[in-house]
Structure 1
Amino acid sequence: MVIRWARDEDLAGLADLERAADTMFADIGIVFPPGTTMIEECDDAGRVIVAGRPPVGFAMLGRVDDCVHLDQLAVHPDHGRQGIGTLLLDAVCDAAAVLAPAVTLTTFRDVPWNAPWYAGRGFAVPPPERWGPEPAALVEHERAIGIGQAPRVVMRKDLSPYEDH
């Protein structure tokens, strides 16, 4: 599987990919409100790592507090359970290691392919008082737009060999 930085022409098809990935949540009673597809807000291919040609998965990056933030990780269900998500997450962490001390994300606490999956890849849930202002605000924003149907948490993975320049 080719893992690469997205090109501008890749962005158009990623919203459909994200919506397809989100259908997995319907089986457990989580339905995302219309207009919450994260990749539709992105017009900078330099923030997106994709898997495959054409893409079958992607990771969208941002900045939150002093960290690289994983805004979204999505793999089309037809390509799930093949390690693509892990490859994308590894690429995110590799790219972030030269930019920031950690990668952060927000996710569903109890969904097996969310917080428990990230925990198995070195992410941890800090206590809420240590989330930082921006991650805490993200969780509140997610709740306000209807994504907080199930408990959400902030997760963080400290990176090395990041050195503050």
Structure 2
Amino acid sequence: MFIAQEDADGLRTLNDALRIWPDGRVEPLGYPKYDINYRSGTRIPESATITAQAADGSPLVVEVECLGHVALSAGCGYGPDPQWTHGVWRGRDWIETATYDLTNQSDPGIMIATQYSILDHVGKATLDGKVGYGLFEHSCAGRHTPSGFANGGSMAP
């Protein structure tokens, strides 16, 4: 399990890196390095390399491939979508559906939901030739110098 949160200059304000073994043992993995490859013209990750350190000091390199994502700010109750906020009472037996064209980047609401908000990806992770699948959650808003984002409008080359 890897969790990291950084400020605009890359200062890590939250760091958790653990390997949890089937027998319940927990192995700290230090202070990993994250290299995220973004789709050109976006802030949507396509892949990531996470380099950590096992308890014995050996390198531990996890390759993550993003296999698709859910934009949590579009109909899931997170972020700026005013129609779908957590905990809003809509009445007994209330039901509604919504359709979002997440490819329409000219729509400011879609742009916020896909470029500046949390995306939950199906992640294919490979470590030492072994493959597993899980959640790869990512968000990068505003300036983030280590990623090459000079300001809030910057996108990957």
Question: Normalised by the shorter chain, which TM-score bucket?
Answer: under 0.3
Q: What TM-score results when the alignment is normalised by the length of structure 2? A: 0.25
Q: What TM-score results when the alignment is normalised by the length of structure 1? A: 0.24
Bigger Cα Rg: 2
